[in-house]
Every structure is written in structure tokens, then in C-alpha cells.
């Protein structure tokens, strides 16, 4: 698969089949991410990941902040509420420093976004789907504490990775003529 093909065929996968993603696979995905362009080679990223049995503990941590009334739910209701967190084979939380300087903060956010795209493309090449999510609980103080997020850092993404059975259809994109204006 060449780069253009990976870019054009990659889809956001939201329905995973539960097959695990190994630490080795996740390490390969993250390693590809580290090659993202970043101003001054600051590499302004930090990641917290979970695979295997740690996924169960991560789902428990998510449950505490994403499903506040979980104690009042039946087991069936709870499983339904947590299904979208239980099916991926791995998860990464992407953390970036919140630089007080606006220029550096924007550069760092942009670099981390490029890192995320690199990881998604590397996963796709490995036939592993991914989805970039920004659920509200990533800013919850209890969840930040659970992940060891320090003051001055921000979680900007929950990246889910996993195997899948169904390929979503491509959504149309705007034509280049609609988004590109040449300066003359």
C-alpha cells in the first residue's frame, strides 16, 4: 500500500470486532507517529496506552467518569453504555503541553495532530482500524489524575485501535477547486 492509497482508503472505524491489538503492534503504530513533523524537533507529545488486560482497567476508569450513574444500572444497561469502550483492541490517550505562548501552543497542537494522522495511517497499513475521538470525560479531573496528566498538560485525543469486519463507505470530499485559491 502506498501513502496515497493509505490516505484515500483509511476510514474512521467505530465498530471493532474485539480482537486484541498487541503491544508490539501498538509500539509500531506509535513509532510511526514519532516521525511527524514538529517545530524545532520539540516532540511535544506524551501518550498513555492500554492493551490486553489493561483495557479492562481502562474501561473501569472511563466508566467512573463517562457513566456517572453506573451503579444504578442493570448489568445489561451498563454493558450497552460501555460497549464502545470495550470493543477496541487498544486505546491511546494523546497528551500535549499547554504552552503559555500562543505560537508554540498552536505549533505543538499541529504537530500532535500530524502524529495522530501518522499513527492512523500506520495502523491502516497493518489492517488495524482507528478512530480519533474527543469525549468530554478527557477533561474530567479524576480521569486526568488516573492517567497521570500533569498541570500544564492537556489530553487532546482518545485514539481507539482495533480489528474490524465491516468497511465503512467513503464519504465525499470537497473538490480541490472549492478549497484551493491560487494567489496571483
Which residue, chain included where needed, has cell 474501561?
A: 59
Q: Report yes or no on 132 lying in a domain.
A: yes
Find all residues with CB under 8 Å of 146, minimum gap 6, and list them.
Answer: 61, 64
Owning domain of residue 34: 3-178
pTM for this structure? 0.93
pLDDT for the residue 125: 97
- Answer yes or no: are the C-beta atoms of 114 and 42 closer than 8 Å: no
Q: Report yes or no on 183 lying in a domain.
A: no
| Residue 162: CATH number of its domain | 3.40.109.10
Q: Whose CA is closest to 164, among 40, 21, 34? A: 21
Q: Report yes or no on 184 lying in a domain.
A: no
Q: Report yes or no on 139 lying in a domain.
A: yes
Q: Average pLDDT for residues 143-154, to the nearest whole number?
A: 97
Share of the chain above pLDDT 70, in %: 100
113-144 pLDDT tens trace: 999 999 999 999 999 999 999 999 999 999 99
67-114 pLDDT tens trace: 988 899 899 999 888 988 999 999 999 999 998 999 999 999 999 999
**Binding annotation for FMN:** 10-12, 39, 132-134
**Binding annotation:** 10-12, 39, 132-134
Q: How many domains does the chain have?
A: 1
- Answer yes or no: are the C-beta atoms of 160 and 16 closer than 8 Å: yes
Amino acid at each position: 500500500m502506498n501513502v496515497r492509497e493509505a490516505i484515500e482508503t483509511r476510514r474512521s472505524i467505530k465498530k471493532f470486532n474485539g480482537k486484541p491489538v498487541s503491544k508490539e503492534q501498538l509500539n509500531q503504530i506509535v513509532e510511526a507517529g514519532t516521525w511527524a513533523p514538529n517545530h524545532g524537533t520539540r516532540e511535544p507529545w506524551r501518550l498513555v496506552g492500554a492493551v490486553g488486560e489493561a483495557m479492562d482497567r481502562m474501561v473501569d476508569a472511563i466508566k467512573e467518569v463517562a457513566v456517572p450513574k453506573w451503579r444504578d444500572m442493570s448489568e445489561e444497561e451498563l454493558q450497552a453504555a460501555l460497549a464502545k469502550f470495550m470493543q477496541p483492541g487498544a486505546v491511546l490517550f494523546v497528551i500535549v503541553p499547554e504552552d503559555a505562548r500562543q505560537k508554540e501552543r498552536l505549533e505543538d497542537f499541529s504537530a500532535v495532530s500530524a502524529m495522530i494522522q501518522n499513527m492512523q495511517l500506520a495502523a491502516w497499513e497493518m489492517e488495524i482500524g482507528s478512530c480519533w475521538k474527543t469525549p468530554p470525560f478527557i477533561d474530567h479531573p479524576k480521569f486526568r489524575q488516573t492517567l497521570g496528566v500533569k498541570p500544564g498538560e492537556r489530553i487532546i485525543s482518545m485514539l481507539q485501535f482495533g480489528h474490524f469486519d465491516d468497511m465503512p463507505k467513503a464519504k465525499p470530499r470537497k473538490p480541490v477547486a472549492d478549497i484551493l485559491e491560487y494567489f496571483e
